[in-house]
């Protein structure tokens, strides 16, 4: 019964949902086709249309069902899987392997990802230069384009970037949904400060060594993107660390805890994005008058952003990634997307509509390139 009240409150009629989807429909079409649709490549056109329709169905369903998290997760997980596939495919096309060599580092043609950003800040400030062996502008995943993308998204979405923009988060998110109930329930809340320690460590070591130490030694996602060619003990140790961390923090622990463990306890960029939550106009709010303290939100939050005390105070902590899981789970409809400065329970629908539009548009366009690549590969196989 409670579940129905929740669904009905945010869900819209079929016609109204279509109307709300129309701007997304137009914008995604223009942005995905570059404003000049070219249908000369048959397989490319099929892949584009499948992706375009799929994205807009998801957005339509967010309005029609009133649910956010599960639909967001579909795109988020697909984004992570297709991005890894695209990256590996790109590596294999260029280098015939998913490992990179010393020569690739010397030539500075390593693709750049947003997780490197925390390591660039201090050297950029003190040496006026970038310490990552990638391309500043142009080529595949240039430093400039990725930093601008992350900056823009972080200012607008805050730590919402971690649930709506990060192309690795879908791995954690996906594995955290494998089991219906967690095996490990009690996890110390203080672990969520760990990413700040990691951030401090990698920022300092990278500055002192003038190399991106997190990428070189820690990043679990090297296991599903690219890693250094194993040529000796050091590179073998690195590969071992990447695979172990991926297996432990991204696969096993999320399955056992139903939490995004890597995102919550390791990611240094997540720590920076936590701070950017202070800048973003979009928040999640708790209406204390409706809340019955069932603490279901605390239980389902995948990133430890809610505690019993937070709920009692009616605050959502800065660790929130705005995934919408607590909103969908709340039986009393006491939690909702909000806008900074606007009190809880006011302009609830407007806040959700505007946040969904902004965040979904960002993820849809960011993800569309890799999804199209993968869909096209499948189309090539079957048609």
Partner 1 sequence: MDKIKMTAGMTWALVCLVFMIVFYFGLGSFATGFSKLPFMKLNPNTSGGEVAGEVVMDNCTLVIRKPVFEGFLGERRKGFVQVDWRGEVSENINDTVDFNFDQIPDFIIVINRDLNDASLIAFNPVVKDIGLSAPTSYGWSVRVRINK
> Dihedral sign, CA of 307, 312, 318, 320?
positive
Residue 9 or 127 with smaller CB distance to partner 1 = 127
Binders of partner 1 in range 320-349 (CB under 8 A):
339-343
Q: Which of 66, 111, 118, 123 binds partner 1 (CB under 8 A)?
A: 123
Sequence-ordered list of residues with C-beta below 8 angstroms from that of 151, at least 6 positions apart, any chain: none
Torsion angle of the four alpha carbons 63, 67, 72, 77, in this order, in degrees rounded to the nearest 10: -140
| Min CB(186)–partner 1 separation in Å | 37
Residues β-bridged to residue 10:
none
Judged by CB under 8 A, the stretch of 43-51, 266-274, 291-299, 353-361 that binds partner 1 is: 353-361
The reply to whether 377 sits near partner 1 by the rule CB under 8 A is no
Residue 12 or 285 with smaller CB distance to partner 1 = 285
| Min CB(174)–partner 1 separation in Å | 26
The reply to whether 122 sits near partner 1 by the rule CB under 8 A is yes
Q: Which phi and psi (to 5°) does residue 39 adopt?
A: -100, 20
Q: Which of 2, 9, 103, 292 binds partner 1 (CB under 8 A)?
A: 103
Residue with tokens 């649930």: 163
Q: Which among 124, 263, 269 is positioned nearest to 199, based on CA atoms?
A: 269
Q: Which of 127, 244, 289, 380 binds partner 1 (CB under 8 A)?
A: 127
Question: Do residues 269 and 117 touch, judged by C-beta distance below 8 A?
Answer: yes
Binding mask 255-294 for partner 1 (x = CB under 8 A): -------------------------xxx------------
Residues β-bridged to residue 228:
100
Q: Dump the DSSP string for 311-375.
A: HHHT---TT----SHHHHH-TT--EEEEETTSPTTSSHHHHHHHHHHHHHHHHHHHHHHHHHHHH
Q: Which of 5, 19, 22, 31 binds partner 1 (CB under 8 A)?
A: 31
Residue with tokens 């400065």: 341
Q: Which of 13, 97, 102, 289 binds partner 1 (CB under 8 A)?
A: 102
For residue 28, the tally of other CB atoms under 10 A from its CB is: 22
The reply to whether 207 sits near partner 1 by the rule CB under 8 A is yes
In this structure, what DSSP letter does residue 53 have? H
| Min CB(139)–partner 1 separation in Å | 12
The reply to whether 131 sits near partner 1 by the rule CB under 8 A is yes
Instruction: Report the C-alpha gap between 30 and 163 in whole angstroms.
Output: 24
Q: Which of 46, 80, 87, 143 binds partner 1 (CB under 8 A)?
A: 143
Residue 233 or 383 with smaller CB distance to partner 1 = 233
Judged by CB under 8 A, the stretch of 69-77, 105-113, 189-197, 307-315 that binds partner 1 is: 105-113
Residue 159 or 258 with smaller CB distance to partner 1 = 159
Residue 1 or 125 with smaller CB distance to partner 1 = 125
Q: Which of 88, 145, 187, 243 binds partner 1 (CB under 8 A)?
A: 145
Residue 175 or 282 with smaller CB distance to partner 1 = 282
The reply to whether 252 sits near partner 1 by the rule CB under 8 A is no
Judged by CB under 8 A, the stretch of 129-137, 233-241, 296-304, 308-316 that binds partner 1 is: 129-137
Residue 128 C-beta-side C-alpha neighbours within 13 Å: 0
Residue 211 or 307 with smaller CB distance to partner 1 = 211
Sequence-ordered list of residues with C-beta below 8 angstroms from that of 161, at least 6 positions apart, any chain: 150, 153, 154, 273, 276
Instruction: Report the C-alpha gap between 376 and 349 in whole angstroms.
Output: 37
Instruction: Report the C-alpha gap between 97 and 142 in whole angstroms.
Output: 20
The reply to whether 358 sits near partner 1 by the rule CB under 8 A is yes
Instruction: Report the C-alpha gap between 112 and 144 in whole angstroms.
Output: 9
| Min CB(157)–partner 1 separation in Å | 9
The reply to whether 27 sits near partner 1 by the rule CB under 8 A is yes
SS3 assignment, position 259: coil
For residue 253, the tally of other CB atoms under 10 A from its CB is: 23
Residue 185 C-beta-side C-alpha neighbours within 13 Å: 4
User: Which residues contact partner 1 (rule: CB under 8 A)?
Assistant: 27, 31, 101-103, 106-108, 122-133, 136-137, 142-145, 147-149, 152, 155-156, 207-208, 210-211, 280-282, 339-343, 351, 354, 357-358, 361-362, 365
């Amino acid at each position: 019964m409670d579940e129905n009240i929740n669904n009905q409150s945010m869900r819209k009629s079929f016609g109204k949902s279509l109307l709300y989807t129309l701007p997304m429909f137009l914008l995604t079409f223009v942005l995905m086709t570059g404003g000049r649709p070219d249908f000369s490549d048959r397989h490319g056109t099929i892949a584009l249309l499948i992706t375009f329709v799929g994205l807009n169905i998801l957005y339509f369903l967010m309005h029609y069902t009133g649910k956010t998290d599960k639909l967001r997760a579909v795109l988020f997980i697909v984004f992570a899987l297709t991005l890894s596939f695209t990256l590996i495919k790109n590596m294999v096309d260029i280098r015939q392997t998913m490992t990179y060599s010393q020569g690739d580092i010397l030539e500075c043609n390593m693709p750049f990802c947003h997780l490197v950003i925390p390591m660039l800040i201090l050297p950029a400030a003190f040496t006026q230069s970038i310490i990552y062996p990638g391309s500043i502008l142009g080529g595949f995943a240039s430093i400039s384009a990725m930093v601008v993308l992350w900056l823009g998204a972080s200012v607008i979405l805050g730590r919402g970037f971690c649930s709506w923009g990060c192309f690795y988060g879908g791995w954690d998110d996906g594995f955290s949904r494998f089991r219906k109930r967690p095996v490990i329930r009690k996890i110390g809340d203080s672990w969520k400060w760990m990413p700040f320690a990691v951030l401090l460590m990698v920022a300092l070591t990278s500055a002192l060594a003038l190399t991106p130490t997190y990428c070189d030694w820690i990043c679990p996602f090297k296991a599903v993107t690219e890693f250094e060619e194993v040529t000796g003990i050091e590179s073998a140790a690195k590969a071992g660390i990447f695979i172990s961390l991926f297996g432990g923090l991204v696969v096993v622990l999320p399955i056992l805890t139903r939490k995004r463990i890597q995102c919550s306890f390791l990611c240094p960029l997540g720590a920076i994005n936590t701070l950017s939550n202070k800048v973003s106009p979009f928040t999640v709010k708790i209406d204390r008058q409706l809340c019955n303290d069932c603490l279901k939100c605390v239980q389902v939050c995948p990133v430890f952003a809610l505690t019993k005390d937070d709920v009692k105070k009616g605050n959502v902590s800065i660790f929130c990634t705005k995934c919408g899981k607590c909103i969908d789970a709340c039986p009393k409809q006491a939690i909702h997307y909000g806008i900074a400065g606007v009190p809880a329970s006011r302009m609830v629908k407007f806040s959700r509509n505007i946040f969904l539009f902004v965040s979904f548009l960002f993820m849809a366009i960011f993800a569309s390139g890799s999804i199209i690549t993968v869909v096209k590969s499948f189309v090539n196989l079957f048609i």
